[in-house]
Amino acid sequence: MNPPRTGRVWSPVVTPFADDLAADLRRFTAHCRWLLDNDVGLAVFGTNSEANSMTVGEKRALIDTLAEAGITGEQLMPGTGSCAIGDAVELTRHAVDNGCAGVLMLPPFYYKGVSDEGLYRYFAEVIERVASPSLKVYLYHIPPVSQVPLTLDLIERLHRTYPDTIAGIKDSSGEWSNTQALIEAFGGEIDVFAGSEHFLLNTLRAGGVGCISATANVNPGPIASLAHTWQEADADTRQAELTALRREFERFPMIPALKAATALYANDAAWRRVRPPLVELDDAQCQALKQALDARGFAMPGRAG
Amino acid sequence: MNPPRTGRVWSPVVTPFADDLAADLRRFTAHCRWLLDNDVGLAVFGTNSEANSMTVGEKRALIDTLAEAGITGEQLMPGTGSCAIGDAVELTRHAVDNGCAGVLMLPPFYYKGVSDEGLYRYFAEVIERVASPSLKVYLYHIPPVSQVPLTLDLIERLHRTYPDTIAGIKDSSGEWSNTQALIEAFGGEIDVFAGSEHFLLNTLRAGGVGCISATANVNPGPIASLAHTWQEADADTRQAELTALRREFERFPMIPALKAATALYANDAAWRRVRPPLVELDDAQCQALKQALDARGFAMPGRAG
């Protein structure tokens, strides 16, 4: 396939919260800078960002905060999908106005069992209302959470109608066969991202672009490194290491575990907080996570302090 | 049990949309007036209202429209639950400020498999932030759609902490055994509503309050009538008639069918419109629905024009 439009590895940036649960702008900006220093793009407002636990106003303000900190739009791929078209349009427009590389769009996820026709109309309505040649939409397939899958037929129809706007897809189905089918169907035309580094090497070898992964929040350097040097001889070994580390996180609820690791390895307890309905890891869980990560020599170099 | 705090039958009011998909204020107000004329309360912003397809701003404006039309808060039980605490607080406050009888609260529904502890913190946070003695919360259990159930343990804990605020529950599980368990556990203390008229008579006989039902949008009079005269000799016959009529609607996607029936029997085609990701019934489906309803002598008396 052609070179990807964007970076190969993105992180759904975890969002730090203050004790009143407001977004913590200082910690957020610091974390974003560290990710960029490690060659990982900022897919802010993803599932692992607790994005749907924030209002549109809160998310707009976070984009503004990054802009004021000099973090430019091309390093950003905000999640903007929402149940309500009005919310999706408002946040997508704000992303476009800030020159974002793209937006990662969930389907509307309240109603279940909806038709491809209905989902097509939703995405088309958002695209038509935003009405910008700068808009690049990355579709977000995450049926284990959204419970609303995006079929190949739907993606094909959207891409046919909006070839300059539909730029890619993130596949968080957790099924390699689906990622493979997406690459076979669209790999020459749109950027296919695996939903985690589990399938990073497979994705790159098949002609996909890279991954957008929760654990890129804590292990960005090694993931980005594999994405750029995947044709080297030790690629399988490095993939196995990434996978083994990721599995340590998967033994816990992912978002609380990412935040606990950041709290532990950046030595900043405030990072543990999550918004309801999530619950932070308890002390025993933190200890178990630390023990497992220490045993693998895990670190977050440059992140402390 | 004690007399219910509110009316016995509520309708999750279907929301009419103009051809640009904006809420149609005139048709909305007219439909609300007709429901009230038929002794059915206005549970605006329910699942069948396409509430999650609307922004908080749109929902605030609809409450304001009803207030301007002289429809008072005691006739309203708006749905205010949302994935984001900030959205839920804003809309709940607006409902309280307008003197609404209560609010019907979905749990946050993006994350799946969340704990009772996390859900408790969510509801507690909203209640503490709204901080009004006028707030009456009706919890909304609808696992087939939200995929996030409310357990008896959770309800009990919330009611114990906030006995003056947790006022009731709507059970849209579709399982009579669950409604029965709720009435047995809480029927003396909070108002238990069945999620449809299927279980209206069972609910009333067991000590529940009534129902909050999609089809009260189109068949309000007979449902409200049974709720008020359920101790009369012909109650079972009337329940069977309500159930048979409801089943005709259940052969189609419910929201498009409710709107199609309103379009057909109020002779106003604009009512057919839905917001994506829903799709309106096609002509053949409308015809099949009308044939089935005509065969049952269905009408919406006083609704035409």
Instruction: Evaluate the CA torsion angle B254, B258, B264, B268 in order and state its sign.
Output: negative
Residue partners of A294: CB distance under 8 A and separation at least 6? none
CB B19 within 8 A of CB B229: no
- Residues of A in Cβ contact (< 8 Å) with B57: 86
Task: State how far the Cα of B112 lies from the Cα of B146, in Å rounded to an integer.
Answer: 9
For the segment A177-201, the average pLDDT, to the nearest whole number, is 97
| Residue A290 touches chain B, beta carbons under 8 Å | no
- Coil, helix or strand for B139? strand
- Nearest Cα neighbor of B21 from B280, B303, B289, B273 is B273
Task: State how far the Cα of B61 lies from the Cα of B44, in Å rounded to an integer.
Answer: 12
- Nearest Cα neighbor of B52 from B30, B77, B83, B90 is B83
Name the residue in chain B with its Cα closest to that of A281: B118
- Does some domain include residue B133? yes
- Residue A149 reports pLDDT greater than 60: yes
- Residue A125 reports pLDDT greater than 80: yes
Per-residue burial over A239-276, b if 16 or more Cβ lie within 10 Å, else e, is: bebbeebbebbeebbbbbbbbbbbbbbbebeebbbbbb
- Nearest Cα neighbor of A254 from A4, A64, A11, A28 is A11
Residue partners of B250: CB distance under 8 A and separation at least 6? none
Instruction: Evaluate the CA torsion angle B157, B162, B163, B167 in order and state its sign.
Output: negative
Question: B202 to each of B207, B225, B250, how far by Cα in Å?
Answer: 9, 15, 20
- Residue B163 reports pLDDT greater than 70: yes
pLDDT of A305 reads 53
How many residue contacts between A and B have a Cβ separation below 8 Å? Answer: 112
- Nearest Cα neighbor of A126 from A162, A168, A92 is A92
CATH value at residue A75: 3.20.20.70
CB B11 within 8 A of CB B220: yes
Locate the DSSP E strands across chain B: 9-11, 41-42, 103-105, 137-141, 166-171, 191-194, 210-212
Among all chains, which residue has been given the structure tokens 């427009």? A93
- Residues of A in Cβ contact (< 8 Å) with B115: 277, 279
- Does some domain include residue A304? no
Residue A2: which pLDDT band, with cuts at 50, 70 and 90? low
Where do the H-state alpha helices sit in B187-303?
200-206, 220-228, 235-250, 254-265, 283-295
Question: Do the chains contact at A21 and B144, CB–CB below 8 Å?
Answer: no
- Nearest Cα neighbor of A119 from A96, A94, A77, A88 is A88
Among the partner-chain residues B53, B112, B114, the one whose CB lies closest to the CB of A84 is: B53
**Mean pLDDT, chain A, as a whole number?**
97
In sequence order, the β-bridge partners of residue A138 are A104, A168
For the segment A219-236, the average pLDDT, to the nearest whole number, is 98
CB A199 within 8 A of CB A175: no
Among the partner-chain residues B55, B86, B108, the one whose CB lies closest to the CB of A86 is: B55
pLDDT of B145 reads 97
Task: State how far the Cα of B162 lies from the Cα of A15, in Å rounded to an integer.
Answer: 30
- Residue B66 reports pLDDT greater than 70: yes
CB A234 within 8 A of CB A275: no
Task: State how far the Cα of A171 lies from the Cα of A213, in Å rounded to an integer.
Answer: 10
Number of H helices, E strands in chain B: 12, 7
- Does some domain include residue A237? no
pLDDT of B305 reads 53
- Residues of B in Cβ contact (< 8 Å) with A121: 276-277, 279
pLDDT of A304 reads 77
| Residue B166 distance to chain A (closest CA, Å) | 18
Per-residue pLDDT tens digits for B251-260: 999 999 999 9
- Does some domain include residue B296? no
Residue partners of B121: CB distance under 8 A and separation at least 6? A276, A277, A279
Give the domain range for residue B45. Answer: 8-230
DSSP of A254-295: HHHHHHHHHHHHTT-GGGG---TT-----HHHHHHHHHHHHH
Number of domains in chain B: 1
- Does some domain include residue A209? yes
- Does some domain include residue A264? no
Task: Name the DSSP letter for residue A218.
Answer: T
Number of H helices, E strands in chain A: 12, 7
- Residues of A in Cβ contact (< 8 Å) with B144: 112
Question: Which of A87, A145, A158 best probes binding to B when mutated, by most B CB atoms within 10 angstroms?
Answer: A87
- Does some domain include residue A272? no
Among all chains, which residue has been given the structure tokens 């609704």? B303
Locate the DSSP E strands across chain A: 9-11, 41-42, 103-105, 137-141, 166-171, 191-194, 210-212
- Residue A217 reports pLDDT greater than 60: yes
- Nearest Cα neighbor of A215 from A190, A243, A246, A240 is A246
| Residue A99 touches chain B, beta carbons under 8 Å | no
| Residue A266 distance to chain B (closest CA, Å) | 25
In sequence order, the β-bridge partners of residue A192 are A169
pLDDT of A187 reads 86
Q: Which two tokens stand for residue B102?
A: 């209560």
- Residue B2 reports pLDDT greater than 70: no
Count how many Cα atoms sit within 13 Å of the Cα of residue B229 in the half-sphere of its side chain: 12
For the segment B16-28, the average pLDDT, to the nearest whole number, is 98
- Residues of A in Cβ contact (< 8 Å) with B112: 144-145, 147
Q: Which of A1-10, A152-161, B63-72, B111-120 has the lowest mean pLDDT?
A: A1-10
pLDDT of B102 reads 98
For the segment A39-54, the average pLDDT, to the nearest whole number, is 98
| Residue A122 touches chain B, beta carbons under 8 Å | yes
Q: Is A112 left (phi over 0), alpha (psi -120 to 50) or beta?
A: beta
- Does some domain include residue B278? no
Task: State how far the Cα of B151 lies from the Cα of B158, in Å rounded to an integer.
Answer: 11
| Residue B174 touches chain A, beta carbons under 8 Å | no
Per-residue pLDDT tens digits for B210-246: 999 999 999 999 999 999 999 999 999 999 999 999 9
For the segment A75-103, the average pLDDT, to the nearest whole number, is 98
Among the partner-chain residues A114, A144, A276, the one whose CB lies closest to the CB of B277 is: A114
- Coil, helix or strand for B166? strand
Size of chain A, expressed as the number of residues it contains: 305
Task: State how far the Cα of B289 lies from the Cα of B277, in Å rounded to an integer.
Answer: 21
Name the residue in chain B with its Cα closest to that of A119: B277
Question: Which of B17, B20, B93, B110 best probes binding to A when mutated, by most A CB atoms within 10 angstroms?
Answer: B110
